[in-house]
Chains A and B, each alone.
Chain A
Amino acid sequence: MITFPILPGIEINLFLLVFIGFTVGIVGAFIGVGGGYMITPALMVLGFPANFAVGVGITHITAKSFIATVRHKQLGNVDAKLGVLMIAGTMAGVEIGVRLLNWVRDRGVADEAVLTASIIVMLIIGGYIVWESTKSKTKLDEMAQRRERLPRDMQLSSIPKRLQGIEIPPMIHFAKSRLTISLWAVLAVGFFTGALAGFMGVGGGFVRVPSLVYLIGMPSIIAVGTDLFEIIISGGYSIIRHTMSGNVIIYAAVLMVFGGSVGAQIGAIGTRYVRGVSVRYVLGYSVFLVSLGSMFKLAHILIGENISWIQKGAQVIIFGSMVILVVMIVALILMAAIYRRGGKIPVWAASLVWERE
């Protein structure tokens, strides 16, 4: 076992760092999130103090998102115009979200209440994504039975049509996503997702990707690439803030980027093999797993420190969820590859994979 001295008295297994970067690289590049919600607790389990876990995580996420965005750009999955315009709303939203969180805390609302609210929001978002994806898949299955040509992406939210119908100038056309929408709607969605992310204390990819799909009306796979593009900018800002606070151990981040660079290729290229509904399925389950992790965190606060079964449970959830999500993604890619070569795959999987090159 090769260990790596990160801080005086704390040595970390080098391969585990690369492995965490690799797995989060696959998941993040496939569903369009940075994956801080997986990395931070995983690094804490390895022995990183909390502030370093956050700092190292966000530093490595920026480089990994850069690598994934380059690949997604080649695949035509990045709507840079919408991404750039949305950043202004997102940044303002994050600031308001953080201020709201501080305001609530200053008025004596305990951490338990804030965490409970975050869990409820995550359960609602995750629940809606899984519910909608299941309905979309059922519809695709029915189309397949009627031998109709299945679209690359299909989602059932009616909000995008309504938002696109609000014609407040300036109206902007986004050629990549094939939609025309008011700039104010884009800024408002960015603000809303940023405020939620700021309040919950997360990067917000798992809020932004569903918002781009269900509110703006962007195809799921373009939402993935566009969100990763946004993370480069927001992550760059976070590197500055965390370095100035002394929370970054750069060597650890570099090791994780090596793992993440390979994982990001698998995740990004994996989007070529699936329909949009598959990306949303994996995203929905990942949000559920995050909320489970947060429930353990809540239990830890409520019951007290150093309860071994809670810590063990949290470790199982964190590493278990990373493995489950990677297995789901790899299984989808393999099934698509088999299907394209004329092989047989389960009937239920046919509407999840993309059959053409």
Chain B
Amino acid sequence: MFRWLGTGKGYITVLYNLGLMLVLGGTLGFLMEKITDLLGYEVHEIEHFDDRGKADKLQ
């Protein structure tokens, strides 16, 4: 039914493709987050600098 959207060039197709990729990205990203939570994997911030606590206080 929506075959015409596949390789269309109009503004509706542009909005559809852009929106679909953003919605799909957001939904799958959210889903993956939940799956990692379910697996019990804790995701926390990486320590990029060894003196993190000290430097943050200085700022």
Contacts and interface: CB of A to CB of B under 8 A. Distances in A.
A222 B48 contact: yes
Interface string B6-47: 111100011011101110111011011100100001011111
A53 interface: no
Interface residues of A, number: 49
Interface stretch (A119-127, A202-210, A247-255, A341-349): A247-255
Interface residues of B, number: 33
A67 B32 contact: yes
B55 interface: yes
A222 B18 CA distance: 27
Contacts, number: 115
A152 B32 contact: no
Contacts of B21: 59-60, 62-63, 66, 239, 253, 257
A153 B48 contact: yes
Contact of B17 (A66, A67, A248, A265): A248
A153 B45 CA distance: 15
Nearest to B43: A74
The dominant DSSP class at the B interface is helix
Contact of B9 (A151, A243, A265): A243
Given A63-B22, A254-B20, A249 B7 contact: yes
Interface of B: 5-9, 13-14, 16-18, 20-22, 24-26, 28-29, 31-33, 36, 41, 43-50, 55, 59
Interface of A: 7, 52, 59-60, 62-67, 70-71, 74-77, 149, 151-153, 175, 178, 219, 221-222, 236, 239-240, 243-251, 253-254, 257-258, 261-262, 264-265, 269, 271-272, 356
Given A59-B17, A243-B9, A249-B7, 6 more contacts: A66-B26, A70-B26, A239-B14, A250-B5, A250-B6, A269-B36
